[in-house]
Amino acid sequence: MMLQHFLQEFGYFALFLGTFFEGETILVLAGFLAFRGYMDINLVVVVAFFGSYAGDQLWYFMGRKHGRKLLARKPRWQMLGDRALEHIRKHPDIWVLSFRFVYGLRTVMPVAIGLSGYPPGRYLLLNGIGAAVWAAALGVAAYKFGAVLEGLLGNVKKYELWVLGALLVIGGLLWIRRRIKNARIAREAKLAAIPATVDVKNRPDE
């Protein structure tokens, strides 16, 4: 009852915020909860669409205005941003439609797309198509995942807290893995910059 009450009060708002800033884990969780009857799958898809669409539009316009500054904030973003720009220049429309399906590019890619000078009107349209496909595909896949689990386990209700816990743990582990990777890249970039700094300091005055 507590879970049901919480989801009725805050579930869709939490889904919107989650898909606005990141997306994958919370959408999968919401799709499974929809299968269990705690949320409505149609509303899950619609809210996930608007959250993802709004978030990526914001990052795109931030990229147009402050793209280089944003990417320079983190070494990993800088590295991914440079790589993303290469992909965008070769196949811009394909990447606008599909970047949500590539883990780890959700924030960096819209910034790089904005930085590349991609037309705002075209991005508005194709980003909407990509967000709709992503929300529907991932939300329905998670919903079907619940049906598969029920077929394997019988009464899923006995295991639903375990499944929810497992999904949260997986999402947390992916987040921790990304943080560790970002920290490692930042350390490597810092160490790579030290020799150049030392060389400049030790260079005799001309």
**C-alpha–C-alpha distance, residues 177 and 64, integer Å:** 29
Residues 108 and 71 sit within 8 Å (Cβ to Cβ): yes
> What domain count does the chain have?
1
**What is the phi-psi region of residue 154: left when phi exceeds 0, alpha when psi lies from -120 to 50, beta otherwise?**
left
pTM (whole model) above 0.75: no
Q: How far apart are CA 135 and CA 199, in angstroms?
A: 51
Which residues span the domain enclosing 178? 2-202
Residue with tokens 């929300």: 135
Helices (H), the chain: 2-6, 12-21, 24-35, 41-72, 75-90, 92-98, 108-115, 120-153, 160-202
Using the 8-state DSSP alphabet, how is residue 22 labeled?
Answer: -
**Predicted pLDDT of residue 129:** 96
The 10s digit of each residue's pLDDT in 56-78 is 999 899 888 887 777 777 666 67
pLDDT digits (tens, 9 = 90+) for 139-153: 999 888 877 766 554
What mean pLDDT do residues 92-101 have? 88
Amino acid at 3: L
> Higher model confidence: residue 66 or residue 53?
53
